[in-house]
Amino acid sequence: MKRFHWLLSTLAALVLVGACGKDNPVPTPQPDPDPTPVIPPESEPEKDPLALWGLKDLASACGLMIGTEFTYGEYSDDSLKVVMKRDFEAVTFGNEMKNDQIVTNAGQFNFTRADQMVGWAKECELKLFGHTLGWHSQQQNDYLVNKLVAGAADADEAAALVRDFHKKWVDAMVGHFDVYGWDVVNEVFIDSGAWRNKANSQLSNNYHVFFWGDYYPGGPKEFVDTAFRTAREALEREGKSAILYINDYNLEGGWAHGKLEALCQYAEGNPDVTGVGSQMHTSGDLYSPSEMKNMLERMVKTGKKVRISELDVASGKKMSQADVILDVFKQYLDIVPEAQRGGITFWGVSDKNSWLGANKQPLLYNSQYLRKDAYLKLHAYLLERSGLNKK
Ligand code: XIL
């Protein structure tokens, strides 16, 4: 048996030697039929979506511009700068483009502070929104407009002086600032849908209040018509373009359907109006998803740009802040066609600087500039909706 094995192996060795003769090249090594499994390259460390994308990247991938507000004093805070640059695409100044901040007692226009803020906005790569060319509040009335009226010989002259000053103001503002949109008028209706005037406004204070409509023969409507025409003509003269908004509050509240209807009908009837804005200072108790739907559908029907201009959401018992904010974004993206989206702007960054007071906690960041639950949920929602996490 052993001998037979020996014979076989000798024969095999001879065959092999022959096969490897100079006429027969050495066979190319064949792959091992049963290779040791290849160890996969170390999988990439889990990427943190919060570090990869700011809110503005995600919103923009969903076809939405997200903005915020800041005021002069806030900018000394380095945390604010980081957040502004990372999370927001656009900015509105809280006060610094308002009449009482720009107009001097002598009737001149002082742009120094606003210009400094324009520089900061550029530093943070933010687009600028103009707020506001027409409002009954925060105006230089104590000194200037009332003085014009008091110094006039009669009511007609007073009206002419006021109207002339309003035109100068609009021309100066539109000429000076480069913005993507203007609030041309703000809060010109009361909740019922009537034009606002001194008599029907329940103002909590009289802080620099002045009703321009009192000085137009056709009342507030003529003032608003004139404001839009003046703004449009100023843009044309300057070779600029900007969306011209009519802006108001309570439009998402079921108790102000009259105002929602009046504002939308006015916009539909005036081609100079190119956008409709809803402030949306709301809370978890006031907010109603069905009223939000109703508002957005009505605003979309105008055919104009639709903008949420001053969003803040105080915490409530009915709905959490996060749930309200998610619903606002979801409905806005579902209902407003991309071509009509004027964007969503928050009225501030950190709770500590909210005009409503830090205790209301209405913003996306807490007073230490830490991301709140609402931020995290909005980030996750926009990430999912944008699909950026799947690319
Ligand atoms: C607020 C500012 O945030 C405050 O700093 C200021 O004291 C009062 O005005 N609707 C508007 C905004 O259109 O201009 C208001 O801004 C908030 C309500």
Whether residue 123 contacts residue 188, with contact meaning beta carbons closer than 8 Å, is answered with no
pLDDT at 41: 53
Query: What does DSSP assign to residue 26?
Result: P
The alpha carbon dihedral of 216, 219, 220, 223 has a sign of: negative
Give CA separation, 390 vs 49, 333, 351, 385, 387, in Å.
12, 20, 33, 10, 5
Whether residue 133 contacts residue 227, with contact meaning beta carbons closer than 8 Å, is answered with yes
Q: Which of 201, 310, 312 is the best mutation target for the ligand 1 pocket, counting ligand atoms within 8 Å of the beta carbon and taking the most?
A: 310
pLDDT at 42: 55
Nearest CA to ligand 1 atom 4: 355
The alpha carbon dihedral of 302, 305, 306, 311 has a sign of: negative
Nearest CA to ligand 1 atom 15: 94
Cα-flanking dihedrals φ and ψ of residue 389, to 5°?
-75, -10
Question: Is 95 close to ligand 1, i.e. is its CB under 6 Å away?
Answer: yes
pLDDT at 145: 86
Q: Which of 96, 278, 347 is the best mutation target for the ligand 1 pocket, counting ligand atoms within 8 Å of the beta carbon and taking the most?
A: 347
Give dist(CA 385, CA 391) in Å, integer.
12
pLDDT at 391: 82
280 CA from centroid of ligand 1 (Å):
12
Whether residue 327 contacts residue 292, with contact meaning beta carbons closer than 8 Å, is answered with yes
Report the half-sphere exposure of 163 (CA within 13 A, side-chain side): 21
pLDDT at 233: 98
Question: Is 186 close to ligand 1, i.e. is its CB under 6 Å away?
Answer: yes
Considering only CA atoms, give the Rg of the chain: 32
Angle of CA points 345, 350, 354, to nearest 5°: 75
Question: Is 345 close to ligand 1, i.e. is its CB under 6 Å away?
Answer: no
Q: Coil, strand, or helix at residue 235? A: helix
271 CA from centroid of ligand 1 (Å):
28
Angle of CA points 384, 278, 297, to nearest 5°: 65
The two structure tokens encoding residue 245? 């908004």
Per the listing, tokens 């805070």 go with: 77
In sequence order, which residues have a C-beta less than 8 Å from that of residue 101 and are 6 or more positions away?
A: 95, 113, 114, 138
Closest ligand 1 atom to 348 CA: 3
| Residue 50, number of CB atoms within 10 A of its CB | 14
Cα-flanking dihedrals φ and ψ of residue 246, to 5°?
-105, 125
Closest ligand 1 atom to 71 CA: 5
375 CA from centroid of ligand 1 (Å):
23
| Residue 324, number of CB atoms within 10 A of its CB | 28
Averaged in consecutive runs of 10 residues, what is the pLDDT profile of the chain (391 residues)? 46 40 43 51 70 97 98 95 97 97 92 98 97 93 84 93 96 98 98 94 77 93 98 98 98 97 98 99 98 98 99 96 98 98 98 97 97 98 96 82
Nearest CA to ligand 1 atom 13: 186
pLDDT at 209: 87
Question: Is 101 close to ligand 1, i.e. is its CB under 6 Å away?
Answer: no
pLDDT at 8: 46
pLDDT at 4: 47
